[in-house]
Structures are given as C-alpha cells and as structure tokens.
Structure 1
Amino acid sequence: MLYPMFAMVVLTFIIGFVALKTRFASVKNGEVKASYYRLMAGQEVPNTVTQSTRAFNNQFEVPVLFYVVCTLYISMGIENPYAIYTAWAFVVFRCIHAVIHLTYNHVLHRLSAYWLAILCVLALWLLLIV
C-alpha cells in the first residue's frame, strides 16, 4: 500500500507544480495581477489558472479517504493482493482524471475517471471491513 500512496503524493506534487507554473505565467503574461492570488478574487482569470487550481485542490478531497484506508491496511498488517491492485487502479484513475482535467477537460471523461476512482476507494474500504 505504501507505493500506491507514494504515487499519489508524487501526482499531487506534479499537479501542484503545474498550478504554480500556470499562476506565475499568468502574472508574467499580464493576464492576472499578482494581488489576485491574495484572496483568489477580484478579477477574471484564464481557464488554465482555474483548471490547475481546481485539479490541485481536488487532490485533497477523495484521495484523503484513500490515504486513510491504505494507512489502515499498513497499520493492521493486512496484505491483500486484491486491495493492492485496487489501490493501483485508484492511482491510475486519478492520473487519468488529472490529465483530462489539465488538458482538454471533457466533463464526461473526467467524471468517468473520477467515479471509477471513487469506486476503487469504496472497494478498498469494503475489502478492509470484510
């Protein structure tokens, strides 16, 4: 479970760097005033800024349930191969979700990846309880 958790941490940092790069570029290009970022309000911003910010924020929503359940598997000493495959599937779906979110952002495609990841987390919890 540790490796899928680490993969999620890496994904979170990658998205964070993309968001940071997007913010700096928006200020450098004159699209956004630096003061906007104090409260994230006061002017319209490019879609790329909103997308990357939301993609980054999204890494602290459902993945929290993933981190908790994986930590429980580790702390309880449970080694279930189905759980490990499911954890990796969660990571894959979250990567797909992030790529869609940061590129062409098709809502139905993103939603599909999102819900497949949620089902993986649910399966992890059910495998743990059973």
Structure 2
Amino acid sequence: MIYPIFALVLLTFIVGVITLSTRFKSVLNRTVKIKYYRNMQGQEVPEFVTRTTRCFNNLFEVPVLFYAVTLMMVATGHKSELSLLLAWCFVFSRVVQAMVHLTYNNVIHRMIGFWAGFIIVIIMWLELLFTAVP
C-alpha cells in the first residue's frame, strides 16, 4: 500500500514544483506583481497561474480521504488485492485530473477524473469498514 501513497505524494510534489515555477515566471516576466501572492487577490492573473494553483490545491482535498483510508489499512494490517487495485486506480484518477487541469483543461474530462477518484475512495472506505472492523 505504501507505493500508491508514495506515488500520490510524488504527484503532489511535481504539481507543486510546476506551481512554484509558474509563480516565479509570472513575477519575473511582470505579468503578476509579487504582492499578489500575499493574499492571492488584488489583480487579474494569467489563467495558467490560477490553474496550477487550483490543481495543487486539489491535491489537498479528496486525497486527504485517500491518505486516511490507506494509512488506516496499513495500521490495521488490512491487505487485499482489491484495496491495492483501488489505491492504484485512485492515484491514476488523480494523475488524469492533474494532467487535464494543467494541459487542455476540459472541464468534463477533469470532472470524470475527479468523480472516478471520489467514488474509488468511498469504495475503499466501505471495503475497510466491512472487512477490517470486527
């Protein structure tokens, strides 16, 4: 179970680096004033700055439920092929959502990635509840 967790952490770091790079570039090429980043308000910013920020923030929303359920599985010694498969499917859904968000940003495609991951993490919680709790 540790490998899917690590994969999601790695995705978060990658998107974080992209976000940071985008912010530095926006200040260096003077499309965004550095003061904007204090409160993230006060001026219009390029769409890509907003998208990278939102994508990074998204990796701290539903994935928190994934981290919680996978760590509960590790802590309780719960092991099943289904839970491992679901964990990798969740990570894949987040990779898809991030790639869509950071590239062509089709809302329908991004929503499919989001809802797939959301449903998967619910199934993971149900599997843990019904198989690990006496």
* Structures share fold, TM-score greater than 0.5: yes
Give CA-to-partner distance per residue, 1:66-121, whole Å, 9 cap, x none: 00000010000011110000000000010000000011100000000100011110
Distance 1:78 1:101 in 2: 33
User: Which residue of structure 2 aligns with residue 13 of structure 1?
Assistant: 13
Aligned length in residues? 130
Give runs of aligned pairs for residues 1-130 of structure 1, distance below 5 A: 1-130=1-130
Distance 1:2 1:124 in 2: 15
Report the TM-score when normalising by structure 1: 0.99
Three-state SS of the structure 1 residue aligned to 2:97 is helix
Distance 1:48 1:26 in 2: 10
Three-state SS of the structure 2 residue aligned to 1:78 is coil
Give the percent of matched residue pairs that are identical in Structure 1 and Structure 2.
50
Query: Which residues of structure 1 form unaligned runs of 5+?
Result: none
Tell me the amino acid that sits aligned with residue 35 of structure 2.
S
Distance 1:76 1:35 in 2: 47
For the aligned residue pairs, the C-alpha RMSD in angstroms reads: 0.5
Tell me the amino acid that sits aligned with residue 8 of structure 1.
L
Instruction: Using the TM superposition, give the Cα deviation of residue 23 of structure 1 relative to its aligned residue in structure 2, in angstroms.
Output: 0.4
Query: Which residues of structure 2 form unaligned runs of 5+?
Result: none
Give CA-to-partner distance per residue, 1:35-90, whole Å, 9 cap, x none: 11111111000000000000001111000000000001000001111000000000
Tell me the amino acid that sits aligned with residue 24 of structure 1.
F
Tell me the amino acid that sits aligned with residue 26 of structure 1.
S
Instruction: Using the TM superposition, give the Cα deviation of residue 2 of structure 1 relative to its aligned residue in structure 2, in angstroms.
Output: 0.9
Distance 1:21 1:109 in 2: 25
Tell me the amino acid that sits aligned with residue 72 of structure 1.
M
Distance 1:78 1:66 in 2: 15
Tell me the amino acid that sits aligned with residue 65 of structure 1.
L
Structure 1 consecutive aligned stretches of length 4 or more whose deviation exceeds 6 Å: none
